[in-house]
Structure 1
């Protein structure tokens, strides 16, 4: 079975929010970005079987927008450890995915989502992973063995095309 990892940074969120960072919501433009990310996934035929999403408000709202545009509803796991995840934690979440999952979507935060994409994209030009960025990784191994360099990663552009390191 082939495995595909889709990496999504949450869409644009409020700045200067008076409450806890975990509770920051998407802006109106962020809501539009989330819908557009879902359209890009659908257009590229990248419908996840399973989603691991940070518990932060902005990642949940991003996921809601994405799911509204997909033709099928994946199973969803809200994971507290994805909120403040470093690269090792992100890989631990991926490594724990059910072996029957073919396409896994991970919705999280920078700098970890950028670091995760960079672990698979062999392009020194990838220096940015702005809000609602999507990267797609075709893994050569089972989830349990996913690690830097075990797959071929690309940025998913605005037309649903998978391009190398465009950002």
Structure 2
């Protein structure tokens, strides 16, 4: 992706621009769809928390309703919340509970000081086939290849969207 979206956060001394390509290289391809969606969630929420300048990376904290590696790695690479012990998984978050086979929420709360933004993934961002695959038992090599292609397509589509269009924000 040559024109991959970026996020700028305030580092310890100067702003840090982080492109999705770097986040994807850090993560790999295992959970590319959720990596891209979470990256876009950060692009949507950080300007709300800090509208006049990049958010201070070391002051951010996250409560996520999704324990997956793509979600975790997007938050970690951009904000370092996992390393700083400012990342909490709370599977009981009530919004965006789309997966009928897992007790998870496709939502998160990100905080900067006393400011908070709640982001809940909108219905339809993840297509029904995504959840059908997650529910499958005894996946074949062909099934796994199909799911890999689906995750890549979801990621590409999510990255091409206005980040705020993917989430309900409050």
Using the size of structure 1 for normalisation, the TM-score is: 0.31
Q: Which has the higher helix share?
A: 2
Larger radius of gyration: 2
Using the size of structure 2 for normalisation, the TM-score is: 0.31
